[in-house]
Every structure is written in structure tokens, then in C-alpha cells.
Amino acid sequence: MKLHCEVEVVSRHLPALGLRNRGKGVRAVLSLCQQAPRTPPGPRAGGERGGRHPACLFISTLKDKRGTRYELKENIEQFFTKFVDEGKATVRLKEPPVDICLSKANSSSLKGFLSAVRLAHRGCDVEAPLSTLTPVKTSEFEKFKTKMVITSKKDYPLSKNFPYSLEHLQTSYCGLVRVDMRMLCLKNLRKLDLSHNHIKKLPATIGDLIHLQELNLNDNHLESFSVALCQSTLQKSLQSLDISKNKIKALPVQFCQLRELTYLKLDDNELIRLPFKMGQLRNLRFLSAARNKLPFLPSEFKNLSLEYLDLFGNTFEQPKVLPVIHLQMPLTLLESSARTILYNRIPYGSRIIPFHLCQDLDTAKTCVCGRYSISSFIQGTTTMNLHSVAHTVVLVDNMGGTEAPIISYFCSLACYVNSCDMLK
């Protein structure tokens, strides 16, 4: 019985000696082996079968293929399995006093292996077939592949799984029409490149890749980016997203919950608007949305702090002279309540209030004064120099312009008048 993972053997004597472990695991093959008999097997008292010997743990690395053996029977002090679903666990031995730290293992394989180790610790028979105490072959370590690049249909694996240890997977020009569900079992994946395929829809389970930092979907047939993905664990991990050369017309309001994004590429889509909460992407440094159909920028765009910005080739409109007025006097109870909730940052959710009211609160407009409005507001359009939000700006048009129209909202007539006076 074998387990492929990264292993770090930590001596519990090091801190007492003033020493520190290097703190990094190495690729290893763990084997549950049958110990060789020290004396010829014979009949035991009471008629017990001979030849049955306790299992031991055998750890082999690429540098030490002969491996190190550890006794298991009544020799385990404690198991640490809090993060076993993430492929991590620690086995604390009594003798020698070491902690065997396992990581980057297939979670289901790890659970099965630990169950067998527990049985060996108790002296029970292990149902799974045990390995022999022989040096591990170099070919065993090929299963630790962390990067795989596939750029043609003929190289795409159809009959075997992807190596579970992959951290970087690229499958471009493979003619994929959907995301291969086998990819979603790669829990160590940090970079996924599915560019130049024919994918039309993304499964929400991509959000289960808890370590995913880079996602490249360039040149596919996507028509949307789902709310489920925006509200998944990608909120905490995703830093780079490329969805250029697709057929996306709009991104959901919840897209701005991906607040770890630093790199965002939206070129060559059919975008008619950007999420109006764009200002919430405080970590964003690179934004490219060239060759879309944007008529204007959302009001919170001015809150961004970018190093690079490209909005070339959009159909920006000239700012309108007259504002669009949607003021309600007096304010409705719904409008007044919504403003109070948002201004005082009172938590809300679909378990507390109806879902449509949550949507109204999520899409509230932000006034230049910092207050919010739902359906009572004045909408105006002004121009903004893009250098005010980005260090490097690609020209907006062939005329050398770096200005673009931006929507502004005002919660009252007083805010609108004050803003006009400031512009003058």
C-alpha cells in the first residue's frame, strides 16, 4: 500500500537544542510494508498462525530511494487530521520522537492510508495488500508532476487521470467544449489555463479549487461569468483572470467580490458595461478592456488605483449636457430604509429579508457625498482623465485621447448643485 505526497520529518528534539527544521517537505513515496521476519516462522502457543509480522512505515525520497523505516505497532502518540480534506495530516511517533508531516496528498488516498496506519498501530491485520521492503524505482516519482502543458488534441489524456499533484495545468487548442471534471479534483491547482478552446459555460465547482490563483479562459465561447463563481472560494484565492476573446456582454454585480484580483483582462468581448462596484477591487493593478462596446465607465471606477489601463476601441459616448432626474419627494419608506441599512452598514441577507430586496441593496448607487440611493437619484455624465486612476494609460482612441465618460450619481439636488459648482 503506497501514498504519494510531500513529507517533512520533524524531530521534536530540535527546539530543545536551539535548532530549527528547514520547514519544507520533499516529494516522497510512503509504503505500508510487511516487516521481514528476524527468525524463521514457526507455530505459536495456542495454535496461532506463524509468519504474521507487524506492518511498518517506509518513507522513500528521490535522494534516498532505499528509504527509512518506522515501527508502527503501539508506536503512534497522536494523529493530526484537521486538514485531511486538503491533503494534509501529521503522524506523531513515540520512537523516534518525530512528527511525520504529510502534505499535497490526494485526500481520499490519504484517508485510506491513515486508516491502514491506525490498524497497524493497534496491531490489527491491514486489509489492503502490503508492499515489500524494497527500494522505490525512479519512475514512482514521476507521479509527482506539478506542471503539465497540453497544446493539441492528440496529446490530451482520455484514458488516464491527470496527476493529482499538479499545480499548473494548461490544456490549450484541445477543442474542449466543457471543463473536464477530472480537473476539478486537482486540489493543489494554482494555475489553470483553458485558453483557445470552445468552452461555453463554466461549472460552479471551479470555485472548489481553493488554491487557484490564475485562471486563463482566453479565446473561448463564454457568454457569462456566473454569480456562483464570484461567491465561491475564488474570492480569497483568485489573483489573475483572463476572459478576453469571448462573448460576454456584462459581468454580474457580485464580480467585484473577487477582491484579491490584481490582473484582469476583458479584451475583445461584447461588454456594454462594467460592474458599477468596480471600485471595490482595491488590489487591482492591471486592467485591460479594449475593443468592447462600453459607452461609459461606472461611477466607482474613479476609486481604482492601477498601474496599467487599456480601454482602446470602445464606443464611448459624449457626456450628456442635461442630467437624468429620478428624485422622489418625499422619499418612500423602502428608499429611506435602504439608505439607512447601507449607510450604517447593517448586515443583511436572503435569510433575513426577501431576495429581491437584497438585489436592490447590492445594486445601490453611491453618491459623490458617500451616501447611497436605490431609486431616488440624479444621474449625470462627466469626463475623467484616466491618468487619475492609472500610471500607464493606453490611448482611448486614434486621436490620442486619455479621457473617458464616467457616470456619476447624486442622492439629492443639493449634492448635484454642489458638484456642479466644484466642476466650475
Q: Is the pLDDT of residue 47 over 50?
A: no
pLDDT tier, 56 (very low <50, low <70, confident <90, very high otherwise): confident
Q: Where is average pLDDT lowest: 45-49, 76-80, 115-119?
A: 45-49
Specify the higher pLDDT residue, 39 or 209.
209
DSSP 42: -
Interval 63-98: pLDDT, tens:
887 888 899 888 999 999 998 988 899 999 999 999
pLDDT for the residue numbered 63: 82
DSSP, collapsed to helix, strand or coil, labels residue 336 as: helix
Average pLDDT on 238-261 reads: 95
pLDDT the model gives residue 138? 63
3-state secondary structure (DSSP) of residue 98:
strand
Question: For the chain, which domains are there?
Answer: 1-14+54-139 (2.30.29), 145-319+387-399 (3.80.10.10)
The overall average pLDDT reported for the chain is 86
**pLDDT value at 148 more than 50:** yes
Predicted pLDDT of residue 19? 53
pLDDT on residue 108 = 81
The type of residue at 8 is: E
Q: Which of 173-182, 244-253, 274-283, 319-328 has the lowest mean pLDDT?
A: 319-328
Count Cβ neighbours within 10 Å for each residue of 261-274 and write b for 16 or more, e otherwise: bbbbbbbbbebebb
Interval 359-365 mean pLDDT: 87
CB atoms < 10 A from the CB of 341, how many? 17
Calculate mean pLDDT across residues 311-328.
87
- The predicted model gives 176-202 an average pLDDT of 93
Strand 147-150, strand 168-171: pairing:
parallel
Angle value at C-alpha 66, between 64 and 72, nearest 5 degrees: 105
Residue 362 or residue 176, greater confidence: 176
First to last CA, the chain: 78
Q: Do residues 123 and 73 make contact, with C-beta atoms less than 8 angstroms apart?
A: yes
Lowest mean pLDDT among 50-59, 333-342, 404-413: 50-59
